[in-house]
Amino acid sequence: MRSFLKKSLLDFFIITTCITAATAVLGLILDPDAVFGYGAFFSPLIFGFLGLLPSLVTYSARELTLRQALFRRVLQFLLLETLLISFGFFTGLLRTSFQAISFAFTVFTVYLLAGVTGWILDQREADRLNRILKEFQDKKTAESSDSAAGTIL
Q: Does some domain include residue 27?
A: yes
Domain count of the fold of the chain: 1
Q: What is the pLDDT of residues 43-70, one digit of tens each?
A: 888 888 888 889 888 888 899 899 999 9
CA distance 147 to 144: 5
In angstroms, the first-to-last Cα distance of the chain is: 53
How much of the chain is in helix, strand and coil states, percent to nearest 5? 85, 0, 15
Cα atoms found within 13 Å of the Cα of residue 73, Cβ hemisphere only? 11
Q: Does some domain include residue 130?
A: no
Q: Does some domain include residue 88?
A: yes
Closest CA to 23 of 32, 126, 140: 32
Q: What is the pLDDT of residues 81-112, one digit of tens each?
A: 999 999 999 989 899 999 899 889 988 988 89
Q: What is the pLDDT of residue 148?
A: 63
User: Is the model's pTM score more than 0.85?
Assistant: no
CA distance 70 to 72: 5
Q: Provide the domain limits for residue 42.
A: 2-111
Closest CA to 76 of 38, 115, 133, 128: 115
CA distance 114 to 21: 12
Q: Does some domain include residue 101?
A: yes
